[in-house]
Amino acid sequence: MTILEFQNVNYFSDDKTIINGISLKINKGDYIYIVGPSGGGKSTFLKLCCHLISPTKGNIFYKGKNLLDYNPMELRKEISYTFQTPYLFGDRIVENIEFPFKIRNSQVDYEKVYSLMELFKINKDFLQNEVTNLSGGEKQRIALIRNLLFKPEILLLDEVTSALDKENTEIVEDAINMLNKEGVTIVWVTHNLEQSRRNGNRIITIENGEIKSEEVLV
């Protein structure tokens, strides 16, 4: 079943074409890697997926409804974007963990919190740690946990392991693989071609704002 569809989508910025005529269907449960050269439009494609930016031409449909017809804040609860450089606010980790519950006027479900912390190999005692004392790998994992406390339909990942060592990369990959098996659709931008062949079911190459190739993996 198609969950997200691009129909001849273009995006222009400062008279420059960033995305040029992309048409693509993403199916529920897909695990897609987006590869291609820097500046080719990969991150812009992800931002279009969750309406962080709007297409200049063409249409994007989520569950059969035009993306522009959704409330952007509500949409991003279902299509979650994790940036390459994680941003954690406040002084302590717990403030970041409580935030998704607060914006939904919900009680903090610590059972869910601890389950995700275990999945990402973070001790629950870390909750009281100061954000400034975290390593890059810890910040990235906390940012992912924050995004996953309410499981999205689609998880967009933008180079989330590019600055991580092998151990932290494996932790993140294992966690994302498990989420995909639970039904979360994954769209992951990466420069790591080896990584793109380890887990996904499709590899899409975006270059000069266009889809240059698509490979289905067995």
Give the CA angle between residues 29, 34, 40 to the nearest 5°.
150
pLDDT, mean of residues 180-209? 94
pLDDT tens by residue, 113-142: 999 999 888 988 889 999 998 888 888 889
pLDDT, mean of residues 176-183? 94
- Cβ count near 177 (within 10 Å): 15
State residue 83's pLDDT score. Answer: 86
Q: Which residues pair with 34 in a beta bridge?
A: 189, 204
**Residue 177 belongs to what H/E stretch?**
helix 166-181
State residue 138's pLDDT score. Answer: 87
- Asked whether residue 162 carries a pLDDT value surpassing 80, the answer given is yes
State residue 141's pLDDT score. Answer: 87
Sheet holding 79-82, edge to edge: 79-82, 154-158, 185-189, 31-35, 202-207, 210-216
Cα–Cα distance, 8 to 35 (Å, whole number)? 20
Model confidence, pTM: 0.92
pLDDT, mean of residues 69-82? 93
- Asked whether residue 218 carries a pLDDT value surpassing 90, the answer given is no
pLDDT tens by residue, 6-37: 999 999 998 899 999 999 999 999 999 999 99
Task: Write down the mean pLDDT value for the chain.
Answer: 93
Beta carbons of 90 and 96 less than 8 angstroms apart? yes
Amino acid at 151: K
- Asked whether residue 68 carries a pLDDT value surpassing 80, the answer given is yes
pLDDT tens by residue, 77-96: 899 999 888 889 889 999 99
3-state secondary structure at position 184: coil
State residue 110's pLDDT score. Answer: 93
